[in-house]
Structure 1
Amino acid sequence: MRPRRWTSHQPKLFQHIDMESLVPHNHILRQIDRVLDFSAIHEWVAPLYSERTGRPAVDPELVMRII
């Protein structure tokens, strides 16, 4: 059995992915993001969340964007 050759090439553990390049500039979600303002959602749902009990909540703006 021959000894194993060592190479200087090591695979990358993490890859850099540019999220902006994944979604085309004329995509419908980019157009919606430019038109809709989700900042008021925090005020609307504030009475529904408690800062003292339970686990931290998922950002309500993120939830609305996902839906």
Structure 2
Amino acid sequence: MTPDETPPDAAPAAAPCPICGKPAAPAYTPFCSKRCADVDLQRWLSGRYAIPGRDEDALGQDDGSREE
């Protein structure tokens, strides 16, 4: 086995915390702490994170192209 190969029984490296970049803690995965988990929740609740939609969905317009 070469030095850059991972042994088959080795666990994959955990992704870093998406808020601060520290290693994730098992109790708060994918975050490193309760604080970072709460920061993420606050961002969702305040609308800072948003999933973009199509313009016609936002306006409630129907162009007649869908069958119901």
TM-score (norm 1): 0.21
Higher relative contact order (CA 8 A, sep 6+): 1
TM-score (norm 2): 0.21
Specify which structure has the higher proportion of helix: 1
Which of 1 and 2 has greater Rg?
A: 1
